[in-house]
Structure 1
Amino acid sequence: MERKDDNNDIIRKARQKAKQEKEEKESLTKENPDENKLENNINIENTDEENNEQLENKVEENNNEEDEDFNNKEYVNSEDLQIIKEEIIKDDEHTKKDVKKKKKTYIKIGCFLLLITVMYFGAKRYDSLVYPNITLYEEDVSKLNEQQLNEKVSDLANNINNNKIIIKLDDKDYEILLSNIIDKLDVVKVENEIMSYGKDKTFLEQFGLIYLGVKRNYNFNINLNNEALEKEVNKIYDDTHLSPIEPTLEMNGDKLNIIEGKNGKSINDKNLENKIIEKINSNEVGKSNIIIKEEYEQIKPKIDNKDLEGVDYKISSATTYYGGTGYNRGLNISNAARKIDKTLLMPGQEFSYEDKVSPVDLSNGYYMAPVIINGTHKNAPGGGVCQVSTTLYNTQLKAGILPTERYNHSKSVAYVQRGLDATLATGSKNLRFKNPYDYPIYIHAYAVGGQITVEFWSNKSVLDGKKYTPVSFVKGNVANTYLYGYNNKGELIYKKYIDTSIYK
């Protein structure tokens, strides 16, 4: 029924179009009368009968055309039929295209709804499972339920506590049990994070994490006992540390020989601690024992052998006598002399007599002997050590070296002039001086036959041709001490006030 109405509408439009073309043609004829007149003039040569006959036929023909009913449904010329066919074909094509387009739309909508359904249920099935591509210490825990994950986490935590750190050195291996340095493994937090991963997102996001997500690895939060770790590393350090041997000088008759030093070795304890922490926080700790290869670091001596090559000349010496002052006192003097002997004082380095001979007690090789305390002689451990410091002081002055700290006795002593002695009281009075020269100073001290001698060895150039002599000017119980320097002609070229000593 609809197609018939459509055809009628097409026919109606075709008729209207034909009528419109007819009217336009008649209008053109009326607008050009001269052309009609010219045509009549041309035909005037014909006979009147012919003209009348043609005119009547033409009028009759025009009248017939005007009487045609364009509304008659049976009137359709060939052009109208062609137009009708074309319009019908076009209409059919449009109809087919619309149907195909609608089918495609319905198919797309159906596929989309199917995809959404698949994605929804695909994400829903993991509500109580661990998402795919999840690992714990690189061990796959995907698709585990809560109980299975709990068992896996517990097993892994136990393995970590039972694992060891093995430190491999060139000559020895050391082991540290992880449970000894780990305070806590926060397994509950990690377990919750693994199980809840992705569960708070939309099902579209969840689907992406499940089927398109990249690998995600978890490790435990490990709280280390830093104090325990440091203690374990210190044990290894103490057991392996080898201090370097400094080169030194040794007297051979009247000549000094160089005794070469040796390198020491040690581990870098701080570096080892950092390596252990790094390994514990890595994936390795969850697999097996941790192996750390550690190498020794060479420790060079502070003094180079070449620094000692120029020490070949005795620049000063002093001797005092102690014979007849008591056997124990002589033993104490010999003991103190041995403690300062072979001392190598590098340029700019300060010497402390107290540091060398202390503690002055029975446990350090000293004996009971007379000492001066507040002007009175009393027996005490180490009686006689002040004679060694006094002899050392005079050797120091003769080398042109001033003291940085020095005290006189409260009472004058018999073995040197007033103003040239140097006492020691542990913790309060000391003898100290610095090496002012560019060469090392080697101290050689020895006690033989009731006399104590101290020698300073260095390079001859340090004296710069001078000979130093300490001088003390005594007046009553007061002594003012100076240091004089003479050139090779015996001329005084240097004079320096040292200090004033007051005695009881």
Structure 2
Amino acid sequence: MSNDKNKNSSKKKRNITRNTKEEKITKEEKGEETINDKEETKNVKIETVDENKTININKHKKLYIVGGCICILLGIIYFSARRYDNLVYPNVELYNEDISKLNEKELENKINDTKAFIGNNTITVKVEDKSYDFKVKDLVKDYNEDKTENEIYDFGRDENFLSQFGLITLGVQRNYQFDLKINEEVLKEKIKDVYKDSEIDTVEPTITSQGDKLSIKEGENGKAIDKKDLNNKIVAAINSSEIGKTTVVINEKYKTTKPKIDVAHLKKVDTKISTATTYYGGTGYNRGLNIDNAANKINNTILMPGEEFSYEEAVSPVELYNGYYMAPVIVNGTHKDAPGGGVCQVSSTLYNAELKAGILPTERYNHSKSVSYVQRGLDATLATGSKNLKFKNTYDYPVYIRAYTVGGQITVEFWSNSSVTKGKKYTPVSFVQGNVANTYLYEYNSKGELVNKTYIDTSIYG
């Protein structure tokens, strides 16, 4: 039994020894593998470094090439832009004419030539069979050619060379024209002349009378140019590019013009609302002629609602060439002969008819001395340019004024619609004390009762 134990013990020892030897062999093999792995890793690293060096060198070469190309390109761009330092840029036009590559002196000459051409150019206005020519130089007071020249020559100069190159190569087209300043007053007068020469007047409807019977004649349409429209067309033509190349023709059409007065309104005038008469017989032959002449000038006057009447405008100019004669007038309190002596009797008669129609004056002056044909405070003098008789139609219907002379007396009548006075009657009353007269307008109702007093004014005589 002890022998068996010894055998087992020896067997275990041999196994332990064998295992130890095997472990040593394995460790040695593993050590060899580790050394080999390290050597292989070292070789890979060397190869990678070499490849990176090659790649970096290639990158640098490419950067140098690209940088060089950019420099060359910038150089080309820069010197291309510099070529136009003293020249007008490409695709620049003056009144649609190419002026590219002109130098400063050539541009100045071109500007002056264009200005002269435009100034001598003609705008022709045609109105049907009539034609009117206007020289542009007569309508323009300033061409502002220096401003235009500077704008053309300076275009692109303040840009950097890259922007300049873009303007040059991309061909941005620019068309310049003068900044013309038009002489508005001259143009207005030219158009006014065309209007007057070409106009076919309208005929206003009229009222005529024979006794107490009124007759109405209808008006007629006229035709005329539209002055504002023609003005706009001429201005547009002057500022167009065509004016720098050729004569501009404007075809203007007539427009129908209608009478200002609607005949339907005149047909509502049916009643005499006032009348006034003064006498001038025996005051001189020439004076009578003047009274008759002035009466004819205010006869058949039509005042529409709200319209103001001016006696001075109706009878002026009070001169010999306008049908008047030398006759006595009051000047600074004394009598002297002058054209139109007697016209103040017409205005005074008109003033009384106006007041009796219930219409107050907007302007009226008395004589410096009292007159024989009306009471103090009821006269109305005329001094051209300083003293006048004016009044407005305050009614909703037209007022028709009839004036006539017969047998040494002058009569003025006011006509309107029967409803305007509403049955009332008006009487001017003057209260005189010495050389002073205070004038009122009395208003009476249909029963003859005084219902209102209106103060008009105070007259002082010398």
Q: Provide the TM-score with structure 1 as the length reference.
A: 0.70
Distance 1:312 1:171, change over 3 A: farther
Equivalent residue in structure 2 for 1:457, among 403, 415, 422: 415
Aligned to 2:292: 334
Pairs within 5 Å for 1:184-195: 185=143, 187=145, 190-191=148-149, 193-195=151-153
Distance 1:58 1:313, change over 3 A: closer
Aligned to 2:244: 286
Counterpart Cα distance in 2 of 1:439 and 1:197? 67
- Per-residue CA deviations over 1:305-360 (Å, capped at 9, x if unaligned) read 33322211112223444455544343233222212211123334444444433444
Shift of 1:263: 5.0
Aligned to 2:350: 392
Shift of 1:455: 1.9
Aligned to 1:305: 263
Distance 1:107 1:300, change over 3 A: same
Shift of 1:435: 3.5
What secondary structure sits across from 1:167 in the alignment?
A: strand
Segments of structure 1 that go 5 or more residues without pairing to the other structure are: 1-43
1:426 aligns with 2:375: no
Aligned to 2:305: 347
Over the aligned positions, Cα root-mean-square deviation in angstroms equals 4.6
Counterpart Cα distance in 2 of 1:460 and 1:449? 30
Q: Is this contact kept in 2: 1:423–1:429, CA < 8 A? A: no
Amino acid in structure 2 at the alignment position of 1:407: N
Aligned to 1:214: 172
Q: Is this contact kept in 2: 1:258–1:308, CA < 8 A? A: yes
What secondary structure sits across from 2:269 in the alignment?
A: coil
Distance 1:433 1:97, change over 3 A: closer
What secondary structure sits across from 1:426 in the alignment?
A: coil
Aligned to 1:181: 139
Aligned to 1:165: 123
Aligned to 2:401: 443
Aligned to 1:16: none
Q: Which of structures 1 and 2 has the bigger CA Rg?
A: 1
What secondary structure sits across from 1:462 in the alignment?
A: coil
Deviates more, 1:343-352 or 1:53-62: 53-62
What secondary structure sits across from 2:123 in the alignment?
A: strand
Amino acid in structure 2 at the alignment position of 1:138: N
Shift of 1:215: 2.7
Amino acid in structure 1 at the alignment position of 2:269: V
Counterpart Cα distance in 1 of 2:403 and 2:187? 47
What secondary structure sits across from 1:461 in the alignment?
A: coil
Counterpart Cα distance in 1 of 2:183 and 2:332? 55
Pairs within 5 Å for 1:358-397: 358-369=316-327, 380-397=338-355
Pairs within 5 Å for 1:112-123: 112-123=70-81
Distance 1:116 1:164, change over 3 A: same
Amino acid in structure 1 at the alignment position of 2:67: I
Counterpart Cα distance in 2 of 1:66 and 1:374? 154
Aligned to 1:407: 366
Distance 1:409 1:100, change over 3 A: closer
1:248 aligns with 2:206: yes
Counterpart Cα distance in 1 of 2:96 and 2:258? 44
Pairs within 5 Å for 1:220-235: 220-222=178-180, 224-226=182-184, 228-235=186-193
Q: Provide the TM-score with structure 2 as the length reference.
A: 0.76
- Per-residue CA deviations over 1:276-314 (Å, capped at 9, x if unaligned) read 445434433333333445455665544333332221111
Segments of structure 2 that go 5 or more residues without pairing to the other structure are: none
Shift of 1:225: 4.8
Counterpart Cα distance in 1 of 2:343 and 2:27? 161
What secondary structure sits across from 2:302 in the alignment?
A: strand
Amino acid in structure 2 at the alignment position of 1:344: I
Pairs within 5 Å for 1:69-88: 83=41
